[in-house]
C-alpha cells in the first residue's frame, strides 16, 4: 500500500505545505509561553482534522483514508534514504553519508565513523517505523482520515518545535507532549509486530523493553529501538551528540542507554533493518485491510454490479 501510494508524484507534498504554513504561523505567534504554544498546536491539529472530516464527507471513507495514508506514511522515503546511506558506506564515501544522514537524525554526524553511522541508521529506521508507518495506520484504524491527518500534524509540529532548547522549551511543550501520547500505543505495537516477525526473540524483546527502553530519554523511541535491536540481534544506543540550540548550534553530549544484548549494529545490519521494516509494514497493511474489510468488500461488490454489460446480440 505504502509503495503504491508513495509512488504517486505530486509536488509539493501536502506535509511540506503544512510545514511551511506552520513556520509562517510560528513567526506570527512565537513567544516563550506554553499558552501560545498550546494555541499554535491546537490550530495546526484542528485544521488537519477538519480537512480530514471534509475529505471524508466529499470523497468517502476509503478514498479519503487512502489519501491520508499517502500523506502521512513516509516509510518508503525512509527506506530509500537509508539504502542510499548504506551504499555510500559500502563505497567508503563517509562525507557524503554523513551529509545524507542529516535527513534522518538530529544529531551531529560529522564525527561518526562508518559503524557509528550504521548504528544511527538502524536507530532511525526503528524510530521512524513507529512515526511513519505504524502510528499513521493505527490512527487510521481508530479514527480514519481525520485521525491520520491529526496525527501527522502533531508529529510534524513536534519535529518543528518540540525541542529541549531555549527557543522551544516552553513554546513546543504541548506539541511534544501530544506527540508522546499519540505514539504511546503505536510504539508498543511496533514492539509487538517485531515480536511477531521474530517470535524466538519475544521474551528478550519484552525484557529489553522493561529493563532498558524506559531509560531512554524518549520512552516511545526507546521502545521501538530496543525491539529492533533485539529482533536483529544487535545493540544500539550509547553517547550521542545533538544540536541543542537552533541559533548557536552548540553541541552537547547526551548519554543514551545501550539497547539490546549483542554487539553494536554495523553497516551490514542496515539491509536487515530495512527487511524488518518491510515485514512490519506488511503486518500494518494487513491490520488496515482487516479493519476496513467490510467496507472494502462492499465497495468492490458495488463496482462489480455497476460494470456495464456488453450486449452480445447484434
| % of the chain at pLDDT higher than 70 | 89
Q: What is the structure's pLDDT at 5?
A: 44
Which region holds residue 144: left if phi is over 0, alpha if psi is between -120 and 50, else beta?
left
pLDDT tops 60 at residue 8: no
For 202-241, the DSSP string reads: HHHHHHHHHHTGGGSSSHHHHHHHHHHHHHHT-BB---EE
17 in any annotated domain:
yes
Tens of pLDDT, residues 267-312: 999 999 999 999 999 999 999 999 999 999 998 888 888 766 555 5
pLDDT tens profile 54-110: 999 999 999 999 999 999 987 778 889 999 999 999 999 999 999 998 878 877 788
The pLDDT value recorded for residue 110 is 82
Number of domains in the chain: 1
3-state secondary structure 250-272: CEEEECCCCECCCCECCCCHHHH
Per-chain mean pLDDT for the chain: 89
Strands (E), the chain: 240-243, 251-254
pLDDT at 235 over 50: yes
Q: Which three cell numbers stand for residue 128?
A: 521512524
Q: What is the pLDDT of residue 1?
A: 44
Query: Distance between CA 78 and CA 168 in Å, rounded?
Result: 26
Q: Cβ contacts of residue 64 below 8 Å, gap of 6+?
A: 52, 55, 56, 58, 144, 145
CA distance 220 to 242: 18
The rounded distance, in Å, linking the Cα atoms of 164 and 158 is 11
**Residues 6+ positions from 203 with CB-CB distance below 8 Å:** none
Nearest CA among 265, 261, 258 for reference residue 118: 265
pLDDT at 310: 57
Query: Is residue 229 over pLDDT 50?
Result: yes
What is the extent of the structural domain holding 207?
2-306
> Of the given ranges (194-208, 235-249, 252-266), which has the lowest mean pLDDT?
235-249
Does residue 194 belong to any structural domain of this protein?
A: yes
Does 133 score more than 60 pLDDT?
A: yes
- Report the predicted TM-score, pTM, of the whole model to 2 decimal places: 0.90
Domain-embedded: residue 312: no
Chain position carrying cell 544484548: 261
* Cα distance between the two ends of the chain: 43
The pLDDT confidence band at residue 7, using thresholds 50, 70 and 90, is: very low
- What gap in Å lies between CA 66 and CA 72, rounded to an integer? 10
Minimum mean pLDDT range among 6-20, 37-51, 196-210:
6-20
> Does residue 201 fall inside a structural domain?
yes
Q: Within 13 Å, how many C-alpha atoms sit on residue 291's CB side?
A: 17
Contacts of 93 (CB under 8 A, 6+ apart): none
**301-310: pLDDT as tens digits:** 888 887 665 5
Decide if 314 is inside a domain.
no
User: pLDDT tens, 139-188?
Assistant: 999 999 999 999 999 999 999 999 888 899 999 999 999 999 999 999 99
What is d(CA 255, CA 241) in angstroms, rounded to the nearest whole number? 9
Amino acid at each position: 500500500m505504502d509503495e503504491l501510494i508513495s509512488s504517486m508524484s505530486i509536488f509539493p507534498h501536502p506535509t511540506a505545505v503544512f510545514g511551511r504554513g506552520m513556520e509562517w504561523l510560528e513567526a506570527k505567534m512565537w513567544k516563550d509561553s506554553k499558552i501560545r504554544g498550546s494555541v499554535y498546536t491546537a490550530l495546526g491539529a484542528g485544521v488537519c482534522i477538519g480537512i480530514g472530516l471534509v475529505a471524508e464527507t466529499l470523497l468517502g471513507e476509503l478514498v479519503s483514508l487512502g489519501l491520508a495514508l499517502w500523506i502521512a506514511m513516509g516509510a518508503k522515503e525512509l527506506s530509500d534514504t537509508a539504502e542510499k546511506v548504506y551504499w555510500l558506506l559500502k563505497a567508503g564515501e563517509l562525507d557524503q553519508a554523513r551529509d545524507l544522514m542529516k535527513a534522518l537524525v538530529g544529531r551531529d554526524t560529522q564525527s561518526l565513523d562508518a559503524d557509528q553511522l550504521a548504528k544511527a541508521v538502524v536507530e532511525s529506521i526503528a524510530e521512524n517505523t513507529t512515526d511513519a508507518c505504524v502510528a499513521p495506520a493505527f490512527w487510521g484504524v481508530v479514527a480514519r482520515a481525520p485521525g491520520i491527518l491529526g496525527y501527522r500534524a502533531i508529529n510534524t509540529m513536534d519535529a518543528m518545535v518540540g525541542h529541549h532548547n531555549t527557543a522551544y522549551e516552553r513554546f513546543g511543550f504541548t506539541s511534544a507532549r501530544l506527540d508522546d501520547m499519540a505514539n504511546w500505543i503505536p510504539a508498543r505495537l511496533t514492539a509487538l509486530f517485531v515480536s511477531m516477525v521474530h517470535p524466538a526473540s519475544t521474551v528478550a524483546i519484552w525484557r529489553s523493553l522493561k529493563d532498558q527502553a524506559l531509560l531512554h530519554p524518549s520512552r516511545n523511541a526507546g521502545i521501538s529501538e530496543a525491539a529492533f535491536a533485539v529482533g536483529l540481534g544487535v545493540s544500539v544506543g550509547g553517547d550521542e551528540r545533538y544540536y541543542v540550540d537552533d541559533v548557536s548550534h552548540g553541541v552537547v553530549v547526551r548519554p543514551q542507554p545501550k539497547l539490546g544484548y549483542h554487539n553494536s549494529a554495523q553497516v551490514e545490519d542496515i539491509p536487515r533493518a530495512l527487511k524488518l521494516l518491510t515485514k512490519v509494514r506488511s503486518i500494518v497493511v494487513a491490520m488496515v485491510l482487516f479493519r476496513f474489510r467490510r467496507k472494502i468488500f462492499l465497495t468492490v461488490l458495488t463496482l462489480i454490479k455497476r460494470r456495464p454489460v456488453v450486449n452480445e446480440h447484434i
